[in-house]
Amino acid sequence: DARVTQTPRHKVTEMGQEVTMRCQPILGHNTVFWYRQTMMQGLELLAYFRNRAPLDDSGMPKDRFSAEMPDATLATLKIQPSEPRDSAVYFCASGHNLNTIYFGEGSWLTVV
Amino acid sequence: DQQVKQNSPSLSVQEGRISILNCDYTNSMFDYFLWYKKYPAEGPTFLISISSIKDKNEDGRFTVFLNKSAKHLSLHIVPSQPGDSAVYFCAAPDVKTSYDKVIFGPGTSLSVIP
């Protein structure tokens, strides 16, 4: 049963610390997305990759967020330094076309 | 500027009745729309889609209607079941990015009361 795997599922960290979230997309999917869910904004697209190349990261705060895809089986989203306003659920999703965008279960981040 | 809007944050419906979730969009270039369903502590899952060449698409208890002139679509669930209680996101591909970038609305939380 193919699925998008995200780690960690839950993270509580102190303000100023570095946070790294990892995602293993479904094998064979060529597009990987990072979304953030907040109460006010719903699902915000932070960044996405096609064939490992970053296509758009305009949704990310550039000074503290970075997204990479070091290989086809791993995508990372890093926050350094983290701030309380970064507290949210971060979703990774992968797919080939619009009907087959599969989401992971999310990484719940709390910055205190 | 939100291009996909869901103006009702929440909706409660009696089991067996119809649930109607609404979505409005501002970009007249959008020509494909999706609905995703999300349970607590899980990621969103694809539910149903509609292309702008149609005004209706049906899949079992779920029907999506599209009114292009009003830039409005709605998801109908008939009959509603307690298991349908979830957050529903309306979404549309960003036409500027060759359809890979999907823009989501803020979601509507549906509660189906037994």
Question: Per CB distance under 8 Å, which residues of A are interface residues toward B?
Answer: 4, 31, 33, 35, 40-45, 48, 50, 55-56, 91, 93, 98-106
Give the count of Cβ contacts less than 8 A between chain A and B: 58
- Predicted local confidence at residue A75, as pLDDT: 97
Is A106 within 8 Å of B45 when comparing Cβ atoms?
Answer: no
Q: Which residues of chain B have pLDDT under 50?
A: none
- Predicted local confidence at residue A56, as pLDDT: 82
Nearest to B100 among A31, A104, A105 (CB): A31
CA A34 to chain centre: 3
* Minimal C-alpha gap between B99 and chain A (Å): 8
- Predicted local confidence at residue A59, as pLDDT: 84
- Predicted local confidence at residue A33, as pLDDT: 93
Task: Provide block-wise average pLDDT over 10 residues at a time, chain A (112 residues).
Answer: 92 97 94 87 86 87 93 96 95 80 94 96
Task: Quickly count helices (H) and strands (E) in chain B.
Answer: 0, 11
- Predicted local confidence at residue A4, as pLDDT: 96
**Which stretch of DSSP H or E encloses residue B110?**
strand B108-113
Report the 10 Å Cβ neighbour count for A37. Answer: 22
- Predicted local confidence at residue B13, as pLDDT: 98
